Structure 1
Amino acid sequence: MKRKGFKITLLHKSLTMLSTVAMCMLSPASAQQNNKAAKNAPLFSQFEYKGNDRVYNENPLKDDEFYTPVLQGCYPDPSITRKGDDYYLVNSSFAFFPGVPIFHSRDLVNWRQIGHVLDRTSQLKVYDSGISAGIYAPAIKYNPNNDTFYMITTQFSGGIGNMVVKTKDPEKGWSDPIKLQFEGIDPSLFFDDNGKAYVIHNDAPPKGKALYEGHRVIKIWEYDVQNDKVVPGTDKIIVDGGTDLSQKPIWIEGPHIYKKNGKYYLMCAEGGTGGWHSEVIFVSDKPDGPFIPANNNPILTQRYFPANRANKIDWTGHADLVEGPGGKYYGVFLGIRPNEKNRVTTGRETFILPVDWSGEFPVFENGLVPLKTKLKTPGGVKSLAGQNGFFPNGNFTFRDDFAKKPLDYRWIGVRGPREDFITLTKEGLKISPYKQNIKAVVSTSTLFYRQQHNTFNATVTIKYVPGSEKDLAGIVCYQRETFNYVFGLTKKGSESYLVLARTERGKTTVIGSEKVDARKPLQLQVEAKGDNYQFSYSTDKQQFKNIGGTVSGDILSTDVAGGFTGSLIGLYATAENDITP
């Protein structure tokens, strides 16, 4: 994923400076203290999220088909590995907490989330991290030589940098991070069948050797499996710039090495994560090169097609390969599904395609034509998305009354553990409000669910009587701390009000407000139809009244707000409200 060319140390310093001037910077300990001191906790219940994208309504599945993306919403930078008949997939999580969602499948069609790789504060130190910092491009690999799973990544926070965690069983938790002593980003491990191991990663060219903006290199190191460290002095540049340096290729990154028929294949993303994104392939007789690019690169891209094509899928790249059932290869990769104004509110999602590796080089099947939303399943497999605990896709409804423990894995915090501010009760979910609001670059008392459709509505019942103008609770649509909508209950004088506020580049504007009777439960709803969002409320769960009219989803899109994340829908409470009806 394109990182503006920063090395870890430089980017971390920049983020630390931003965090220092941010409002109410807190450590995890002070956040915990806030929770214990909270007295007025709103009660949330009967959450419902319902997707209704036209593309799925117009393309129902047949018995031998499944939808891609397989993971809708902000699940970018997928990496996949296999042990026997078990497949495991992970994604970037940036400043989300817990971090690195991990999924399991036996057929590459039906996926079940089994947890998060980084679910403890000893593993994930993002409490003052920018929303698009934190965890970048995790790569999961199984090492058959010692029957161990590894997840290697770059953590742009907490002074960690490149790190690895490992486990014998991905469903039973992972080790604390082991810091690795090299610069750069997007590391991946390769375990050769002779027992040797290697780390490959993106890095800047040698000092003074950069030829243009976006000039990067791919490096390889020998990896000491016994001591979990790179072997000093073994680093070597194996790709300079990309497939053809004379053409000034940009942002070569996301490398993975595979071995097939005695040869070593290096696959990388190239072109940045926007419209020129692609996947390219190289071959060598040795793991440390020299690597020769294929003459048919790229092997996956959507960059050559009309911008106004129907049901557009774009920005494809950052891929990983795995041998699937029956020896057939498949590739997972990120892509986007922009709305009618070409805005990206759902973020980068996880797609999958079969891969033809009958020749010397792998090629994504139909990866060089406009992508379709449906695929044929591997022989004999039936899509069970949304059933028996499998992750849903297409149009679906997700409901949560918060009666089940533990909390569903799809609920996440930002910059800190959910458990620090939530309580599950028989009546629903209580959120103990922190003394900082949604605009702070810290852990806020907000429980988030990813936006997974361009057309959706989300509704929740809230029972809450604000005690003062500093109290507010409700729902948010959040791209980052400086770009978001807040729709919540607060107080003005002796009366309770519902207020809708838009924050753009850190400046907050009240869009609408209305006096309400907060002694009775209210239903709060956000509804999106492409770029048009509406916020409404109900007192009887049937008739909804809009506040603020129709507002634009522009600030929830990466083309306006920047960064790498998608929009999040949050259940929110604060004891430091600054929005006045």
Structure 2
Amino acid sequence: MIKFGFSQLLSAAMAVLLMVSFDATAQKKKKASTVAAGTNVPVFTRFSYTGNDEVYANNPLKEDEFYNPILQGCYPDPSIVRRGDDYFLVASSFSMFPGVPIFHSTDLVNWKQIGHVLDRPSQLKVEKSGISAGIYAPSIKYNKNNETFYMITTQIASGIGNMVVKTKDPFKGWGEVKKLNFPGIDPSIFFDDDGKAYVVHNDEHADRSKILYNGHRIIRQWEYDLEKDEVIPGTDVVLVDGGVDLSQKPIWIEAPHMYKKNGKYYLMCAEGGTGDNHSEVIFISDSPKGPFKPALNNPILTQRYFPADRKDKIDWAGHADMVEGKDGKHYAVFLGIRPNAKNRVNTGRETFIIPVDWSGTFPVYENGLVPLKPKLKLPQGVTNQTGTNGFFPSGNFTFTDNFTAANLDYRWIAMRGPREEFITTSPKGGITIKPFEANIKAVAPVSALFHRQQHSSFEAAVTMNYVPKSEKDLAGIVCYQGEAFNYVFGVTKKDNDYYLLLAKNARERQAGPPRPGSVVPSTIIASTKIDVKKPIQLKIAASRQDEYTFSYSTNGTNFQTVGDAVSGDILSTNVAGGFTGALIGLYATSGNDILP
């Protein structure tokens, strides 16, 4: 399995990025022209996604329980903050657009997505970013002294690097990006009671002779100027060198967050890389500038000690953030994975929550050092409303979208550019996708609308009305782990006939970053002639055994499979690498290069 940290892949990500700048005028939101059905611009209707994981069937909820993870699918690196009765949670988004999904709750169980922090091209410049570049590890914090929320993160694109945006009200959007002048990744901001502010982040020693081994990193701190929104030059200090015990060569100390309790300062970090050895550790000090001493009971959260074949396996736990609940207890959100039966990671790193006992000197994650379970007890006085009243669903659920709403559901995201550049919705239902010339293998904005894969076993279906004009035209549905690993199930034209084809796009695994301009090979798995005079329903079905089948229907009832079941291996981080989970996309292109 994979053992890495964000900083391990930083140089690889940078190697494949083209530093670009969006032209503000050209990137204004624009509506694609409404196009009648029957042209080479597809219209999609009646999308449905249904999860059917055994873990939920075998572990039905009792009245006082809720499911973990609280955010299923690719919502990694969570950070959480509280103001009064409101909790806000953010997660990494990499090259997805809009970026940094933000959720709101009043009870830590029921969450509503209220939008994205980075929802404009002026804030998010990822046009030429590989799938696992873009936005890393956002941290959200609230400064009660100026009543302002801060979201600080690393944007691995366009030369931005570490950055911050602010708002007085997360429901009303966020300001423009302020670039921060310091290296490294995973920044987090801390506001002390005396009004001072500090930034902590992952870095490496400037003196390379002090770097003792691969994965040796440090946690650095700067004083932060709240008036100028920048770190103060010359104030940086190293708070942690290597990790809990440098003699043991700990790797990838990262994702730091600072807290204050009973006059003591706490620094909590991820250690071990966001893979099999991932963990959470904590340090204590009398001063925000240290020295910080590790707790004797580190790690405080990990799943690395347990049998690989354990039931209802949850793994890779770490990258946590904490908040105090209304009941006086603390709670931590963190990332973890739920591998399928082949031990592959297709749903990506998800957001979990766990209660924390902080009645002693150090926080103790309740059951954080035993195999994690798929259910938790509800906090006292809380009713589980997930999946109802607009709250984000959990467990086995069905999401349907007829695309009739005035505003697109926040779960739909694009890749590297605004959705509004290629979609049009109709009050009568349906969404039109104006094809870009860039196809699904391009490191560029693509005309595809994505929904996260949230279960190992699922079915996703959509109805499409589409008549391609030439072999360069293709539209359909994709399973997408990234530009170099995906399946395409779509309709195209060859000579005077129309074909529905299933193709695999996969680059051979290689050491280091992909070579600029390298070609992603395509393999036709199967194809069949098809009548395009009437709408076609396309369906993907995946099993926990990591097999994906693709089928279609022209009457909405009888489905025919195209080709045999295919492996989901290329949709997993085990094969594709990187940091993202698989996505299901409604896709069109005028630059098709896959022919039956």
TM-score clears 0.5: yes
Distance in 2 of aligned mates of 1:58 and 1:12: 40
**RMSD value, Cα:** 1.8
Report what 1:228 is aligned to: 229
User: Unpaired segments of 5 or more residues in structure 2?
Assistant: 508-519
Say if 2:197 and 2:225, in contact at 8 Å, map to a contact too.
yes
AA in 1 matched with 2:548 = Y
AA in 2 matched with 1:557 = S
1:354-391 Cα offsets, whole Å, 9 max, x none, are: 00111110011001000000000110111101101000
Say if 1:524 and 1:535, in contact at 8 Å, map to a contact too.
yes
Report what 1:240 is aligned to: 241
Report what 1:110 is aligned to: 110
Q: Does 1:484 align with 2:486?
A: yes
1:155-554 map, 5 Å = 155-208=155-208, 209-425=210-426, 426-505=428-507, 506-530=520-544, 531-554=546-569
Report what 1:58 is aligned to: 58
Report what 2:132 is aligned to: 132
Closer, same or farther: CA 30–105 of 1 in aligned 2, 3 Å: closer
Three-state SS of the structure 2 residue aligned to 1:249 is coil
AA in 2 matched with 1:143 = N
1:213-243 Cα offsets, whole Å, 9 max, x none, are: 0000001100011110101100000100000
Say if 1:102 and 1:116, in contact at 8 Å, map to a contact too.
yes
Say if 1:34 and 1:435, in contact at 8 Å, map to a contact too.
no
Q: Quote how far apart the aligned CAs of 1:349 are.
A: 0.1
Distance in 2 of aligned mates of 1:297 and 1:33: 52
Say if 1:27 and 1:127, in contact at 8 Å, map to a contact too.
no
Q: Quote how far apart the aligned CAs of 1:35 are.
A: 5.8
Distance in 1 of aligned mates of 2:87 and 2:6: 29
% identical equivalent positions:
66
Say if 2:540 and 2:549, in contact at 8 Å, map to a contact too.
yes
Q: Quote how far apart the aligned CAs of 1:26 are.
A: 10
Distance in 2 of aligned mates of 1:228 and 1:450: 34
Scaled by the length of structure 1, what TM-score is found? 0.96
Q: Quote how far apart the aligned CAs of 1:37 are.
A: 12
Moved more, 39-48 or 374-383: 39-48
Q: Quote how far apart the aligned CAs of 1:44 are.
A: 0.1
Say if 1:468 and 1:490, in contact at 8 Å, map to a contact too.
yes
Three-state SS of the structure 2 residue aligned to 1:555 is helix
1:153-191 Cα offsets, whole Å, 9 max, x none, are: 000001100000000000101011000010000000000
Report what 1:3 is aligned to: 6
Runs of 4+ in 1 over 2 A off after TM superposition: 3-7, 10-13, 25-40
Report what 2:572 is aligned to: 557
Say if 1:154 and 1:162, in contact at 8 Å, map to a contact too.
yes
Say if 1:325 and 1:378, in contact at 8 Å, map to a contact too.
no
Closer, same or farther: CA 440–6 of 1 in aligned 2, 3 Å: closer
Say if 2:13 and 2:132, in contact at 8 Å, map to a contact too.
no
AA in 1 matched with 2:318 = G
Distance in 2 of aligned mates of 1:416 and 1:466: 24
Say if 1:344 and 1:558, in contact at 8 Å, map to a contact too.
yes
AA in 2 matched with 1:15 = V
Distance in 1 of aligned mates of 2:495 and 2:305: 58
Distance in 2 of aligned mates of 1:162 and 1:495: 52
**Matched residue count:** 574
Say if 1:5 and 1:204, in contact at 8 Å, map to a contact too.
no
Q: Quote how far apart the aligned CAs of 1:398 are.
A: 0.0
Distance in 1 of aligned mates of 2:265 and 2:130: 37
Moved more, 25-34 or 531-540: 25-34
Closer, same or farther: CA 252–83 of 1 in aligned 2, 3 Å: same
Q: Quote how far apart the aligned CAs of 1:16 are.
A: 2.4
Report what 2:592 is aligned to: 577
AA in 2 matched with 1:262 = G
Distance in 1 of aligned mates of 2:589 and 2:103: 33
Moved more, 44-53 or 541-550: 541-550
Q: Quote how far apart the aligned CAs of 1:74 are.
A: 0.1
Q: Quote how far apart the aligned CAs of 1:246 are.
A: 0.5
Three-state SS of the structure 1 residue aligned to 2:575 is helix
Q: Quote how far apart the aligned CAs of 1:3 are.
A: 2.7
Three-state SS of the structure 2 residue aligned to 1:59 is coil
Distance in 2 of aligned mates of 1:235 and 1:396: 48
1:68-107 map, 5 Å = 68-107=68-107
Scaled by the length of structure 2, what TM-score is found? 0.94
AA in 1 matched with 2:551 = S
Distance in 1 of aligned mates of 2:345 and 2:454: 11
